[in-house]
Structure 1
């Protein structure tokens, strides 16, 4: 460690050749974007709230490290560009829009930058800023519908969202951890309410707080090199606790495309998704290229996280075998060849799939009760009625089929009973 530790900021040692670009409040980027505050940071980027001096609006400017992959910009250009969009597809409006792209040169190299709409916080940030970690029932339905619609649009354009592990701009209320690096609610952002553009910078500071600057100090007492900023900045918090989000404030944008790929153009066999929501074929069929069905598995896990308080599969300190064991407990025995190739099964199950040790077996229904329904009742919130619960579980089971070819497609998810009768009607109220 070269610098005194400062909480809730990017790793200061990464201000080096190949790393972050030093930015200060008031800097003007690309001769147009005046930096107002910090929105967040990831391992390969920092993201800044800026005022577009030409169009007089607030934007988010994501500044990559000089050794980062600029692929995210290319994917966003393809998804939000001017090419023909299918008639009747609302999904394009749910993708974080790309306004501009440019490069800046600094003491640490040349940095790819892109400009998008600013957002309030991620869904996971809203939950982490909450005591209950729950969304209201109507909000959770609308959020799930929007996410499914966004993924259906992404797939229709030929892209898989994949696992985001390089350029994530985490908004305050989330911390940089593997649990936020994929098609996951850490990558789903709440839109900012209308009217922000009419606020002056001072009004922004009055409403949300001025930048919290803390001097960067070397441990050896020497002066800072030009590659390091003089002050660190804690990201601004524009969000609100999950239980306080109303239906009118539940509009989202799907972000973080650094690991997205087009299966028709690029064969990808390695999943960067965290173990807890990684599709099982990434483990048991590592030589088979990943495709759209891998998004369906993680979409199911994301919908679960939106509806409830606890994740479907507990990834805290879990090994790959722990997660596979949880998947078998919840969904049943693996396909025969996977089952035979999983050597650790002998320590946990009989050949027929029965547990050999006394431990709590939690079915999908058990997990829904303990992770979704019970926390809602405990917090005095409305829980799901029996008919709706059964429709949710039927949809999720079909999305969580072990074999990728047996999972629902994104369009079939939208046609499921729960989406048609409960989720999409709430989304349409937006």
Structure 2
């Protein structure tokens, strides 16, 4: 259905007049670009419609994205005549004030130029909305482009420019984390989805031009499971997010780090964070592996660097996700997962001290030794990181025209392979104390050196199965068995 402009719901006193009963809504199945409609309850999302005016100034034009902590809306700043991204936090998360504390600290201790130089994006301003589901903190941000993952998806890995661009972006990512850690801040949710590409020229576009790029908002009616009429807690409809490739022609090669909802100060680490398993360190996933801290960010950074450089997640799985698969991938790369060093009865990892009962330090059998050896064998490299990074890979062009399909073989330069593999090995250690710090990461030769040579393309060689696919097939075989 088409979206129609709605007047913004009254913002005073609604939370006091509505029942606290949780309302069940008819879910939107298989609609990844829609928010979780069940979060339109007390403590959850603020209901918004296209055409609403937020804080008497920001006109809602489209939706840019949503997550567990809030929804980001594309708005026209009617005062400055500029495009802005307004992030409306859930009421529950607003009450915690996590991001606000981090932002306040950075504003007090860092200049805008310093933040920009280190790729840290802070709100231009903020305000609050009081609505039917509670009080919501709202951050006004510049409009950014696609995630680093979407940017990487369109890079051609066999082209020399892609190698230069990904190395440059990796350097920016490392600089951003080094900056945060130098100020005693851990991001807590460091992943490609929280790294966006900056855009330029967006304020030169009018409404019609913006919508021609993003697509017109598509809206889907919200209905209750009971069939009862909607209360003010929910909007009349949910809006699909803008086409993620809208910004292709406006994108720069500069990044911005976003979403500090899981961030914390080094001196006061939480028990855990909500970071996805693909990027979570062992101490985040498993009890008894240590407290959270900068070392947890280091693990997440390593996973992110691999994904940005290669276009594939390090611990990803093409068959199924889940905790057991991720930890099995740990063992494929790093050997048997050691027993947790301490037993705890409370489940609070910060309670793991030397006063608890020590467990055996002897790891279990190496169930992935054969698979690891198979990946390394014949690669010309000495370990699994080098073998995976150095594997010959194949890109297929013109796949939509069967008779014109072209296969391009390529490898990463050996210097690149050896450098990144060494860096990853030093960052991905089971014991948090064994991981290198950001000071060592940023001074590593792979981070500072400019890539030499080319991608080693060779379209005339016999077609072979790339080691990357061998790696995936071996692991998936183990999972399915």
For the pair 1:83 / 2:99, whether they are aligned, the reply is no
In structure 2, list runs of 5 or more residues that go unmatched.
1-23, 343-357, 377-381, 398-407, 452-481
In structure 2, the residue matched to 1:210 is 216
Partners of 2:270 and 2:292 within 8 A in 1 = yes
Which of 254, 260, 273 is equivalent to 2:263? 260
In structure 1, the residue matched to 2:334 is 331
TM-superposed CA distance for 1:332, in Å, is: 3.9
Number of equivalences: 392
TM-superposed CA distance for 1:98, in Å, is: 1.2
What is the distance in 2 between the residues matched to 1:278 and 1:152? 18
In structure 2, the residue matched to 1:188 is 195
In structure 1, the residue matched to 2:203 is 197
In structure 2, the residue matched to 1:106 is 131
TM-superposed CA distance for 1:329, in Å, is: 2.9
Moved more, 92-101 or 297-306: 92-101
In structure 1, the residue matched to 2:35 is 10
What is the distance in 2 between the residues matched to 1:103 and 1:130? 40
In structure 2, the residue matched to 1:42 is 67
Partners of 2:25 and 2:222 within 8 A in 1 = no
Partners of 1:190 and 1:251 within 8 A in 2 = yes
Q: Deviations over 1:21-76 (max 9, x none)?
A: 11111111112211111001112311101112222211111111211233112213
In structure 1, the residue matched to 2:172 is 146
TM-superposed CA distance for 1:239, in Å, is: 2.9
Q: Are residues 245 and 336 of structure 1, via their aligned partners in 2, closer, same or farther at CA, if it must alter by over 3 Å? A: farther
Q: Are residues 54 and 324 of structure 1, via their aligned partners in 2, closer, same or farther at CA, if it must alter by over 3 Å? A: same
Partners of 2:63 and 2:242 within 8 A in 1 = yes
Q: Flag the structure with more relative contact order, 1 or 2, with Cα contacts below 8 A and sequence separation at least 6.
A: 1
For the pair 1:389 / 2:417, whether they are aligned, the reply is yes
Give me the CA root mean square deviation.
3.6
What is the distance in 1 between the residues matched to 2:369 and 2:409? 38
In structure 2, the residue matched to 1:31 is 56
TM-score norm. by structure 1 comes to: 0.79
Q: Deviations over 1:1-20 (max 9, x none)?
A: 53263622112222122221
Q: Are residues 271 and 227 of structure 1, via their aligned partners in 2, closer, same or farther at CA, if it must alter by over 3 Å? A: closer
Partners of 2:426 and 2:435 within 8 A in 1 = yes
Q: Are residues 336 and 202 of structure 1, via their aligned partners in 2, closer, same or farther at CA, if it must alter by over 3 Å? A: closer
Mapping for residues 297-376 of structure 1, pairs under 5 Å: 297-314=299-316, 317=320, 320=323, 322-332=325-335, 341=359, 346=364, 349=365, 353=366, 362=375, 365-366=383-384, 369-370=387-388, 373-375=391-393
Q: Are residues 355 and 228 of structure 1, via their aligned partners in 2, closer, same or farther at CA, if it must alter by over 3 Å? A: closer
Query: Based on CA coordinates, which of the two structures has the bigger radius of gyration?
Result: 2
In structure 1, the residue matched to 2:147 is 122
What is the distance in 1 between the residues matched to 2:86 and 2:48? 11
In structure 2, the residue matched to 1:179 is none
Q: Are residues 422 and 3 of structure 1, via their aligned partners in 2, closer, same or farther at CA, if it must alter by over 3 Å? A: same
What is the distance in 2 between the residues matched to 1:273 and 1:206? 34
For the pair 1:74 / 2:76, whether they are aligned, the reply is no
For the pair 1:51 / 2:96, whether they are aligned, the reply is no
In structure 2, the residue matched to 1:229 is 235
SS of corresponding position for 2:278: helix
Q: Are residues 398 and 30 of structure 1, via their aligned partners in 2, closer, same or farther at CA, if it must alter by over 3 Å? A: same
TM-score norm. by structure 2 comes to: 0.71
